[in-house]
Amino acid sequence: MSCAAGTRRLRIGTPVHQPPREAGAAAFSCAEISSYCRRVLDLLLGNCRLPGGSAPVDLAIAGGRIVGIGPARGPARETVDVGGHLVTPGLVEAHIHLDKALLGDRVSGSAETAADAIRLTAIAKRGFTAADIEARGRRVLDLAVAAGTTAMRAHVEVDPIVHLAGMEAMLALKREYAPAIDLQLCAFAQEGILQAPGTEALLVRALEMGADLVGGCPYNDTDARRHIEIVFALAREFDVDADFHVDFSDEPEHLHVREIARQTMRTGWQGRVAVGHLTELAALPAEEQGTLIGVLAAAGIGVISLPLTDLYLMGRRDERNVRRGLTPIRRLLAAGVPVALASNNVRNPFTPIGTADLAHLTFVTAVAAHMGTPDLVRQLVAAVTTHAARILNLRDYGCAEGSRADLVVWDCDRLDEIVTALPARRLVVKAGRVTVEHERRVIERWRVGGTDG
């Protein structure tokens, strides 16, 4: 992107809240002014350390996209020198339930199993209203946006208990939060389809209202194969992706993912299907596990590990050497299957904790899945960035020229520190605009006068 030698380099290092410059305020001597040089940039991020890059570079941003990488050129409405800190693409939350988040104060009893969690949450769900769902969803979205998440897939329960109240709330939140985050809404049949009559028609209505994709939960229905068929039929009818909660047990007692892979191939939906949990895969003998992973790779199915929920609810019957209950992340990655790490639930019977900060999931998974080597730590970052973006089929994601300018500036220099040290997010950028700015102030009062009499 650089202009010819001799061009005056734009001085950077100005504060975030610099007043907008006048168009054409800076003069250029560049003889080969590229198209973006002719206009005022929306944002110039100076001195950025990109993943895999050695020397810091400047990112020129206009029209919501990265239009140049290299020595800075051009006037900008906002200029920020990020001081050589790490810059990555925005974090991607591949699987979350905003509609049933933050239920800690309205659920009695604690879940011992996934079935318990579904039952307790279904009781709480009877009291949900659109306004209530919207208020709790807003609190989680605020956490996620502040943590650097710029794209998210939310499962929205659609069933005879809550009807379309969740969809109404989430469509409103999707519009409200559009300047900060892209929200994909998955019309989701948590209570089953066949065992919850009326659900199929509600899923159709949700897709007509604007759901971006359709989701199923075959382990919670009376006929898993038919359930999967209905979800694929809706995916084809509306030409949308499909996402399943699947094989969520300690033992390989369901393995519905085989049928999902079969129907993915039959319908030509390769690259458009994701599965969450998949904990049963870890319980298969190595050879059988390898064969099934090969089937997933061939079908282009993305796997979303939900470590906080899976670690919390799996292994409950193990009296000693309690198993971790995570899908075999390393083997899936080694076979070329994209694997995302996602939050799933935030403070409800499925997961009593949660921050909606995807970096926290990389931190937990590094130890829970034995992923501590430099290569595996990089894969953990990919699981909340590039792999997750691939599973969500996000277009133009990344830090290359032409990519959408959804970015995070981290309070660290190296990629591995995202996992090992949970650095603060100094800045978050969405569609070329700074959306979040963090300031951290620590006063070590113990040092002041600590040695005086």
Which residues make up the interface to Zn ion (CB under 5 A)? 344
Torsion sign (Cα): 111, 145, 303, 329: negative
Among all residues, whose Cβ is closest to Zn ion?
Answer: 344
Of the two residues 47 and 309, which places its CB atom closer to Zn ion in the complex?
309
Of the two residues 82 and 206, which places its CB atom closer to Zn ion in the complex?
206
d(CA 186, CA 174): 12
Beta-carbon contacts of residue 217 (< 8 Å; ≥ 6 apart): 188, 189, 190, 191, 192, 227, 244, 245, 246
Of the two residues 155 and 426, which places its CB atom closer to Zn ion in the complex?
155
Of the two residues 90 and 276, which places its CB atom closer to Zn ion in the complex?
276
Of the two residues 184 and 344, which places its CB atom closer to Zn ion in the complex?
344
Burial degree of 208 (CB within 10 A; 0-12, 13-18, 19+): exposed
Beta-carbon contacts of residue 120 (< 8 Å; ≥ 6 apart): 107, 108, 109, 111, 349
d(CA 247, CA 154): 20
Contact 343, 324 (CB under 8 A): no
Rounded to the nearest whole angstrom, what is the least distance from the CB of residue 202 to Zn ion in the complex? 18
Of the two residues 43 and 213, which places its CB atom closer to Zn ion in the complex?
213
Closest C-alpha to 58, from 73, 46, 66, 76: 46
Rounded to the nearest whole angstrom, what is the least distance from the CB of residue 387 to Zn ion in the complex? 17
Of the two residues 245 and 425, which places its CB atom closer to Zn ion in the complex?
245
Beta-bridged to residue 449, according to DSSP, are: none
Torsion sign (Cα): 99, 301, 372, 414: negative
DSSP state of 46: E
Of the two residues 88 and 190, which places its CB atom closer to Zn ion in the complex?
190
Rounded to the nearest whole angstrom, what is the least distance from the CB of residue 188 to Zn ion in the complex? 8
How many CB atoms are closer than 10 A to CB 445? 8
Rounded to the nearest whole angstrom, what is the least distance from the CB of residue 79 to Zn ion in the complex? 41
Helix (H) / strand (E) containing 185: strand 182-188
Rounded to the nearest whole angstrom, what is the least distance from the CB of residue 430 to Zn ion in the complex? 25
Q: What is the CA radius of gyration of the chain?
A: 23
Rounded to the nearest whole angstrom, what is the least distance from the CB of residue 302 to Zn ion in the complex? 14
Rounded to the nearest whole angstrom, what is the least distance from the CB of residue 346 to Zn ion in the complex? 11
Rounded to the nearest whole angstrom, what is the least distance from the CB of residue 309 to Zn ion in the complex? 7
Of the two residues 199 and 344, which places its CB atom closer to Zn ion in the complex?
344
d(CA 330, CA 376): 8
Amino acid at position 85, single letter: H
Rounded to the nearest whole angstrom, what is the least distance from the CB of residue 248 to Zn ion in the complex? 9
